[in-house]
């Protein structure tokens, strides 16, 4: 078995007010996997992903990225390996042009010249936003901003791409374009989403969180076919959406 890209073991975390946000969470994601992280609001999903790049540090248990355990002396390298794309792309786009936004991260790693240019161009091409390179991010559509934000993370060449509600506020065409782009990536992906059809389309495996714990995990088709499980954890498929047998 390969070394997990993400290995979360016995992770526990309480906020200063005493709220137990995570309670003994175990989650392993292996290279090349796309995994959906599902659950109701307040389940602990955001707290979990904020541990993956050291925004929160473990109070109990461990987090490791490609074998490197998260600690005070490793946090910068862990952050380089974990690319988080937040729900609102405006939280990540702040430079005058798209190209400058995408090159910001690798430039801070010390890349210059042709190496920097190649890294940026590759990320722009993969997310199909190269034609937007000289435009100000604030002049883009929401869907374009989302793809530019992902390009900026990909330019860092992370071990894992973590996407927080990537389809929120996207129209159907933008949602399809995003799905096609993500399906074309070789990068390991953790997709946090309430969009169950998107999870079904994108991810072979799904994990359900609730109350700060892992409530269920398995093949996405099995998880989404379990109507009682979905009901218990306030998850719903759209009316009329059918899980196909053998998918």
Q: Is residue 115 part of a domain?
A: yes
Provide the 10 A C-beta neighbour count for residue 109: 12
Q: How far apart are CA 102 and CA 95, in angstroms?
A: 9
pLDDT above 90 for 151 = yes
Q: Is residue 158 part of a domain?
A: yes
Q: Is residue 91 part of a domain?
A: yes
Q: How far apart are CA 84 and CA 79, in angstroms?
A: 9
Q: Which pair of structure tokens corresponds to residue 144?
A: 């374009």
DSSP-derived pairing of the beta strands 213-219 and 205-210: antiparallel
Q: How many domains does the chain have?
A: 1
Q: Is residue 240 part of a domain?
A: no
Stretch 226-247: mean pLDDT: 86
Contacts of 106 (CB under 8 A, 6+ apart): 116, 119, 120, 155, 156
* 82-85 β-sheet, strand order: 82-85, 160-164, 188-192, 34-38, 205-210, 213-219
Q: Is residue 96 part of a domain?
A: yes
The predicted-structure confidence for 99-126, as pLDDT tens digits, reads as follows 999 999 999 888 889 999 999 999 999 9
Q: Is residue 208 part of a domain?
A: yes
Range of the domain at 49: 6-232
Q: What is the CATH number of the domain that holds 168?
A: 3.40.50.300
Q: How far is CA 113 from CA 35, 103, 123, 140, 199, in A?
A: 36, 11, 16, 27, 39
DSSP-derived pairing of the beta strands 34-38 and 20-29: unpaired
Q: Is residue 16 part of a domain?
A: yes
Stretch 137-156: mean pLDDT: 94
pTM of the prediction? 0.93
Q: Is residue 241 part of a domain?
A: no
């Amino acid at each position: 078995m390969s070394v997990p890209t993400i290995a979360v073991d016995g992770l526990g975390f309480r906020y200063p007010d005493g709220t137990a946000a995570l309670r003994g969470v175990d989650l392993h994601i292996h290279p090349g996997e796309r995994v959906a992280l599902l659950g109701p609001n307040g389940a602990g999903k955001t707290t979990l992903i904020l541990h993956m790049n050291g925004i929160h540090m473990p109070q109990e248990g461990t987090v490791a990225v490609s074998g490197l355990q998260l600690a005070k002396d490793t946090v910068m390298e862990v952050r380089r390996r974990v690319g988080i794309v937040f729900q609102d792309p405006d939280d990540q786009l702040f430079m005058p042009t798209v190209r400058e936004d995408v090159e910001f991260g690798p430039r801070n790693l010390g890349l210059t010249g042709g190496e920097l240019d190649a890294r940026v161009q590759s990320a722009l091409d993969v997310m199909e936003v190269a034609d937007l390179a000289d435009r100000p991010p604030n002049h883009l559509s929401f869907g374009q901003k989302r793809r530019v934000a992902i390009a900026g993370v990909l330019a860092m060449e992370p071990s894992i791409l973590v996407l927080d509600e990537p389809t929120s506020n996207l129209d159907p065409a933008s949602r399809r374009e995003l799905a096609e782009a993500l399906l074309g990536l070789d990068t390991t992906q953790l997709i946090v989403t309430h969009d169950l059809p998107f999870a079904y389309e994108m991810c072979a495996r799904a994990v359900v969180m609730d109350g700060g714990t892992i409530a269920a995990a398995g093949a996405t088709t099995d998880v989404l076919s379990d109507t009682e499980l979905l009901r218990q954890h306030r998850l719903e498929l759209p009316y009329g959406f059918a899980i196909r047998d053998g998918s």
